[in-house]
Structure formats: structure tokens, C-alpha cells
Structure 1
Amino acid sequence: MTWTCEGIRAVLFDLDGTLIDSAPDLGAAVDAMRVRRGLASLPLDHYRPFTGSGARGMLRAAFDVASEDDGYDLLKEEFFTEYASCLTQRTLPFDEVVDMLDLLVAVGMPWGVVTNKAERFTAPIARSMALFKTAAVVISGDTTPHAKPHPQPLLEAARRMGLPPHACAYVGDDERDIRAGKAAGMRTVAACYGYLGAGADVATWGADAMVSSPMQVLKLLELP
């Protein structure tokens, strides 16, 4: 699909790596697990490229374990507990995000969040950050039976906003975001400033557009 802003009446965003930089808290949580085991602390730069893969990525970065390995599930639950205790300590919006959302609200364009992050983590973050007070909808990874790249979470967001999916654009920093958006019939935007991961080739994702900063979303929408 060739990018056009015609007909777009709402914008949906992924959360981690698109609206907020949660890497410092995710990294701190898994690093605390390392230190408890007598292992050396690792810098945030080591963890950041793995952030987009959630617990699986963090545990791989810290312990070189995969989801099919013995003991992975116990490590994952320990990580979730550790992260829940610190998830609002260091997490901040990316530069330009607050200004971008303020401008969307100012022109009357609804915006919302569709994330694979579980509600037990999404809800405290949303409560702690003022920018989410203007969100029309927040869909977490366990709001519907399926998570991205399945389109159901995006379709549910559109339903709750009372809009057809084709009237929405979806912005995300992972290939699964683009796959989910396309499957839902939405215009898709790749956030190239996010947690792309090592070796990611955004050009192959098939997004309708790419942005290198949040404010470029407004330019795509032809907003001031």
C-alpha cells in the first residue's frame, strides 16, 4: 500500500520502544537476578538490543538461555516479579512523544496503545505517567486471547474506539507490529528509533511508512 493519510481518524501505538523507553527498568530487573547469583553486573547497553523481545530477550541477554531450556519458566517468573517491583523507576517517554501526543489531542485525533505487555505491567505504567491520561484505549497483551502478530488486539482497539480498522494507523518498532497492523487492515508505520534489535532490516517489514522520530508521525498525517 502506498502511504496516504486520507481517511485516518485515529493512531495506535506499540508501547515499549515506540512510546516509552522501558529498557532501563527491564535491564535493571534482569541484572539484579545476575547479581543475586554472584555474576557480574552488565551495562544497560548490553541489554537494550534485546528489549523488544521482552522476558525472552532479557533472559537470553543475562543468562544465555532460550525459552525451550530447562528452568526457563522459573527464571521467567522470577524476572516478572523483579520487574514488577521496579517498572516505573527509570522508564520515561521517548523524546518528542509527549509533544506528539499533545498535538494529536489538540487536533482532535484519538490515540491509543496496543502492546504485548501484560496488563499487570501495563496498568501501573499507565497510571504513573501523565501522558496516558489522554489515551482513548489501552490494549495489553492479555486483553484478548491472542497477542501480536495476531490482528485481534488491534481490531479490539478499533472496536472500542468505534472506528473501522481501515480508519486507524498503527505505529510500532517490531516486525510483528507491522504484521499485526497489516493483518488488521490498518496503515502501518515502522518506528525506526525504537528497539529494532541487532540486524533488523526494517525495509523488509512491508510497512506503509517509516519514521525516525515520533514527531515525524505528525508529518505523515499532514498535521502541523
Structure 2
Amino acid sequence: MFHDIRAVLFDLDGTLIDSAPDLGAAADQMRTDRGLPSLPMARYRPMAGAGARGMLGEAFGIGPEHPEFASLREEFFENYESRMTQRTTIFEGIPDLIDHILQRNLVWGVVTNKAARFTEPLTRAISLFATAGAVISGDTASHPKPHPAPLLEAASRLQLRPEQCIYVGDDERDIVAGLAANMGTVAAAYGYLGAKVDPKAWGAHATIKYPKELLQLLA
């Protein structure tokens, strides 16, 4: 499907790594610290792709408009920062996928909305990322996704044109950003998608149910 591709870019949480256990635990600690009952991980998991907004929404039923959201978000960040590699794992099939990408003489990178405060220590701690050609965080470029700026920054760092890259992500904003950047787009349907979400409605060029299906799309 995709031709003359030189690089594969990925979202991080829900696409390459399963960080839901650590994200959920960080939010749940906030509940138990306040004497509230713990919630099952199944409650947090579908919201993991939405970061602090999703976790605090599930834990306390509040959104960014709540007057205490900013302070609660920082508490959540501190909890997460202290545990972010404890239970986070790489999705099954991702290491083999990266190996095959490298064997095809392609480069790969990460474009995430996760702040560099978390992205940099996390990717340093996981050996998979040693071969990544670029790691772009949510505060690296002038705007986060769904703006195309982070993806364009990644292409620039790899010294490639945007149309030489494809972007793989598990959220609609990933596909919106990829299309705006003039990249090929692939929706990852194996991440944190809830039952009510249809990734085929996002307008991506392709959808994959397993990581290695991506190889079939690369000519």
C-alpha cells in the first residue's frame, strides 16, 4: 500500500508500549490516599491514551474545567513519575516489528504527546528505543498533536520529506496529525480502544489489528 517509504513513526502509549498499569496505578493512588476505594484497572485502561485527563476523569469524574484540575494533574504526574517503568511493557510483536523495519534499511521514531519530562527517562530505560532515530515529545514542537508540527519535526530530524514517512497511532488525533503532515497513516487497533471506538472512522489509510500487519503495508 505504501511506496517509497523511508521511515516509520509511532505514537508511544497504546501503540508501542502498554503503560496503562502504571498510569492507572498513579491515579488510583490518589483515590486511596484520600480514603476512597480502589478502582479496577479495567476502568482505567480504556482511558490510558488520554493521559492525565483520562486518568483523572476516571478516578474523580472531573475534567480540565474543574478548578482543582491543575493541582490534581501535578499530583498525578508526580505519582506517575515515581513509578512509570514498574509495570509498563512493550506490546507483543513490537520488538519483531522494529527488527524487521531496521532489516529493510528503514529508520523509525516516536512522536508522542507525552511531555519530555516522562518521555526521555522512559525511553532511556527501555532498550527498544536505543535504535530510534528521533523521539519527539508533546512539548518538543510548537504544538502537540493533532497539530502536524511534532510529525514535521520528526521528519526534519530524520532529514526526510513528510511523504517519505508513515505514522502509526491508536488515537484519532494521531491520524488527524498524520494526514495534516501529508504522511501515510495507520490506525493501531490493538491499543487502548474501547468497544465504542471505531478506528476505521478516523480516515486513516490503513488499520492494523496486530503490530506485524504493518509489514504487509510496506512495499
Class of the TM-score when normalised by the shorter of the 2 chains? over 0.9
Give the match for residue 29 of structure 1.
26
Which residue of 1 is the match for residue 82 of structure 2?
85
TM-score (norm 1): 0.96
SS in 1 for 2:166: strand
Identity %: 59
1:198 and 1:151 map into 2 onto residues whose CA distance is: 27
Secondary structure, in 3 states, of the residue corresponding to 2:9? strand
Match for residue 163 of structure 1 among 160, 169, 180 = 160
Structure 2 distance, partners of 1:90, 1:169, is: 29
Give the Cα–Cα distance (whole angstroms) in 2 for the partners of residues 143 and 198 of structure 1. 32
What is the rounded CA distance, in whole Å, between the counterparts of 1:135 and 1:20 in structure 2? 14
Unaligned runs of 5+ in 2: none
2:193 matches 1:209:
no
Distance (Å, rounded) in 1 between the aligned partners of 2:101 and 2:203: 25
Aligned amino acid, residue 129 of structure 1: I
Task: Please identify, of 190-199 and 64-73, the stretch whose mean Cα deviation from structure 2 is larger.
Answer: 190-199
Q: RMSD value over aligned CA atoms?
A: 0.8
Residue identity in the other structure for 2:66: D
1:107 maps to 2:104: yes
Pairwise CA distance, 1:5: 1.6
Shift of 1:6: 1.0
TM-score (norm 2): 0.98
Q: Does the alignment pair 1:138 with 2:142?
A: no
Matched AA of 2:94: V
State whether residues 18 and 172 of structure 1, in contact with CA within 8 Å, keep that contact through their aligned partners in structure 2. Answer: yes
- How far apart in 2 are the matches of 1:141 and 1:197? 23
Q: What's the offset of the Cα at 1:130? A: 0.5
Instruction: Write the letter of the residue equivalent to 1:148.
Output: K
Gaps of at least 5 residues in structure 1 are none
Alignment of 1:1-224 (within 5 A): 4-222=1-219
Tell me the amino acid that sits aligned with residue 211 of structure 1: I
Contact 1:56 1:67 in 2 (8 A): yes
Structure 1 moving runs of 4+ over 2 Å: none
Secondary structure (helix, strand or coil) at the match of 2:176 reads helix
Q: Note if contact 1:52-1:197 (Cα within 8 Å) is conserved in structure 2.
A: no
Equivalenced residue count is 219
For 2:194 and 2:161, the matched residues in 1 are separated by 32
The separation in 2 between residues aligned to 1:176 and 1:30, in whole angstroms, is 23
Could you say what secondary structure the match of 1:12 adopts? strand
Question: Residue 198 of structure 1: CA displacement?
Answer: 5.0
Equivalent residue letter for 1:95: E
